[in-house]
Structure 1
Amino acid sequence: MTDRRQFTARLLGTVGAAAALPLWPRLASAQTPEVVRIVVGFPPGGSTDNVARRLAEKLRGAYAPTMLVDNRPGAGTQIAVGAVKEAAPDGGTVLLSPPAPFSVYPFTYRKLPYAPQDVVPVAMVCTFPFAFAVGPAVPASVRTLPDFIAWARAHPAQAAFGSPAAGSTPHLLGSLLGKMAGVDLTHVPYRGDGPGLQDLMGGQVAGYSTVLGSYLPQLRSGRLRLLAVSGSARSPFAPELPTYAEQGYALDNTEWFGLFVPARTPQSIIDRLATAARAAVVQPDYAQGLAEFGMSAQFLGPQELAAKLKADTDFWRVQVPRIGFTADS
């Protein structure tokens, strides 16, 4: 038979446990600072900034009470990565970035202000393909990628393509296309897609390589022709456009944006940010907003994204020397 002291102790224990339950949410939320910055290596107004601001809206309240976008443009996102590297590993500073600073730059730059292991991948939040287009400098009879390769082989002095920047992934993919086809495609670097696409449509450069979304606002003009899209399948934003692989060139690379945090960030914070990011990515209005830029909402968690980044890095470790580009060239 239970005596009075045992009964009282059990009762107090039950009441104490019940009283403690409301504390758990407060204890969990206290691990993340009240104000969290999403650092972006590009100026306001671009696609990366757009994704960051949509994410900030979705993560507000789910991950932290206040979410801010901190634009740190310059040096091909190196400034932004360096800022996150130096930040406290408390979940208060998050990087939104494409993979190139970690998968490409180690093979194109002699020295970087960071090492890839200085940050930890947390979540992929979207993906989108690259595409190749030609303009009026190329005859109207050129309608496919094999057509363009044949024309470039017959007109080597005119066989040039542009990209938004030297050393960018679109640049490297265009050069890799030339290597695969056995033709010399001269690269013309631009400072962003704006001037590059103007030159393409004005006939100053024959072809252009960039992300599919950059072409979409220009398609109605009729002054450019899309020839190929990257990826393992056709894009829902241009379903009539065949892939590189369909036309004989194994370029299935796609671009993505991911969230990263400083190394040594506690796993509990990484998991909480990944969970909040997943909840954001599956919301219909998030996907609708990205569609304006030719992007698809897609989530990968920390382990899956780490594996994806490793695969991208392994690819470029082989292909960059094949292309022969360095940031000093």
Structure 2
Amino acid sequence: MSLSRRELLDTAARLTALAAWPGGATADDYPTRSIKLVIPYSAGAAGDQIGRPWADKVASLLGPVHVENIGGAGGAIGSAAVAQSAPDGYSLLLGNGSTQVTIPLSTAQPAYDTVRDFRAIYRLITSTLAFAVHPSLPVKDLRELAAFAKANPGGLSYGTPGVGTGNHLVGEMFRQQSGLAADLVHVPYRGMGPATNDLVSGQINSVIAVVSSQLLQLHFAGKLRLIAVTSDRRLSGAPEIPTVIESGMPGLRYAGWFGLFAPRATPDAIVQRIAVATRTAMADPQLQESYRAQGLEPDIDSGPDKFQRLVEDELARLAPVVRSIGLKRD
């Protein structure tokens, strides 16, 4: 029986991990020290509101989890750091559709390959993106946003957490479907925290951001205005905001997610240990409610194999989209 290249790589990775494990021991005693969860964005962004509650809840099951924010390059810097870490279960990544799908697809020489360098463990939540504008911008929906951009070439700028992120991908699809050329200015940041701050202060006039409790609070306080969400349905916590489908742009639908990843050669037993503890934590009603209060939907039925298939399916689905809009960076 011959093995595929993928199977050979998986087998080699597992043998390498076993050899690296002290004395060839099993993961029965894992963990024996603090686990590090890398959030590849600046502090205060949506990643913190997802990763830190998980870290707090799972501490009673896995021991202390130290959260480290490593922002930059739309999440690529922190993701690459985890990909290059020892595959021992002590360095995990809170990845998402941007870090694991669109950045590798849209980068000429990516610092990591999602399938080659990572193992999916558990999808924590699904999310939606929102188009948010400064209150002074005279637009109330996506049609008016496109019209404003056309009438004011170069006058509409939108912030994202970086080039090649899912946020940027949606922005480029908006440009394409609205017939905009140089009318729309993309401003990449080292995370959505700084981008949102600049929107509120008027340094830029729009952002495409993951819906979070902070974003909703700023919307309700009138410090920014959410004009559309990329989900199929309106948010239960803000039902006044229309979807992109209702705005006449169904092609902008985009379902985001955040989940846990480990370096590829991490032993199966450790991956399963983390997944089982996470499933237990995600069953807690308080944790679920804390996510839903932020406009996020907790995933209580994920796991390594299921999540891995989802990531690989996303890579296959979005690759032609990235090519069609020429979204490529150095």
Tell me which residue corresponds to 1:314. 316
* 1:94–1:151 CA distance, 2 compared to 1 (3 A): closer
Tell me which residue corresponds to 1:257. 258
Tell me which residue corresponds to 1:275. 276
SS state of the match for residue 83, structure 2? helix
After TM superposition, the structure 1 stretch with the greater mean CA deviation from structure 2, 244-253 or 30-39, is: 30-39
* 1:137–1:277 CA distance, 2 compared to 1 (3 A): same
Please tell me the residue identity of whatever aligns with 1:211. V
Tell me which residue corresponds to 1:97. 95
* Whole-angstrom distance in 2 between the partners of 1:203 and 1:59: 39
Please tell me the residue identity of whatever aligns with 1:251. L
Tell me which residue corresponds to 1:86. 84
After TM superposition, the structure 1 stretch with the greater mean CA deviation from structure 2, 115-124 or 99-108, is: 99-108
Deviation at 1:130, TM superposition (A): 0.3
Deviation at 1:202, TM superposition (A): 5.1
Deviation at 1:111, TM superposition (A): 1.9
Tell me which residue corresponds to 1:10. none
Tell me which residue corresponds to 1:5. none
* 1:74–1:149 CA distance, 2 compared to 1 (3 A): closer
User: Is contact 1:132-1:208 (8 Å) kept?
Assistant: yes
Matches within 5 A, 1:1-329: 30-35=28-33, 36-62=35-61, 64-116=62-114, 117-139=116-138, 142-184=139-181, 185-201=184-200, 203-213=202-212, 214-249=214-249, 250-299=251-300, 300-328=302-330
SS state of the match for residue 60, structure 1? helix
After TM superposition, the structure 1 stretch with the greater mean CA deviation from structure 2, 147-156 or 110-119, is: 147-156
User: Is contact 2:72-2:191 (8 Å) kept?
Assistant: no
* Whole-angstrom distance in 2 between the partners of 1:60 and 1:222: 37
Deviation at 1:55, TM superposition (A): 1.7
Deviation at 1:95, TM superposition (A): 1.8
User: Is contact 1:161-1:187 (8 Å) kept?
Assistant: yes
* 1:74–1:57 CA distance, 2 compared to 1 (3 A): same
Deviation at 1:259, TM superposition (A): 0.7
* Whole-angstrom distance in 2 between the partners of 1:159 and 1:76: 21
Please tell me the residue identity of whatever aligns with 1:134. V
* 1:47–1:203 CA distance, 2 compared to 1 (3 A): closer
User: Is contact 1:39-1:84 (8 Å) kept?
Assistant: yes
Deviation at 1:34, TM superposition (A): 1.1
SS state of the match for residue 245, structure 1? coil
Q: Which runs of 5+ in 1 are unaligned?
A: 1-26
Cα RMSD, aligned residues only: 2.7
User: Is contact 1:131-1:230 (8 Å) kept?
Assistant: yes
Q: Deviations over 1:236-289 (max 9, x none)?
A: 222221111222222221221111122233323322221211111121221233
Deviation at 1:177, TM superposition (A): 0.9
TM-score, normalised on structure 1? 0.79
User: Is contact 1:32-1:90 (8 Å) kept?
Assistant: no
Q: Deviations over 1:45-69 (max 9, x none)?
A: 433234323222222242x334332
Which structure has the greater CA radius of gyration? 1
After TM superposition, the structure 1 stretch with the greater mean CA deviation from structure 2, 303-312 or 256-265, is: 303-312
* Whole-angstrom distance in 2 between the partners of 1:164 and 1:86: 22
Deviation at 1:292, TM superposition (A): 5.0
TM-score, normalised on structure 2? 0.79
SS state of the match for residue 246, structure 2? helix
SS state of the match for residue 131, structure 2? strand
Q: Would you say how many aligned residue pairs link Structure 1 and Structure 2?
A: 299
Q: Deviations over 1:18-65 (max 9, x none)?
A: xxxxxxxxx987242312322322344433234323222222242x33
Q: Which runs of 5+ in 2 are unaligned?
A: 1-24
* 1:79–1:170 CA distance, 2 compared to 1 (3 A): closer
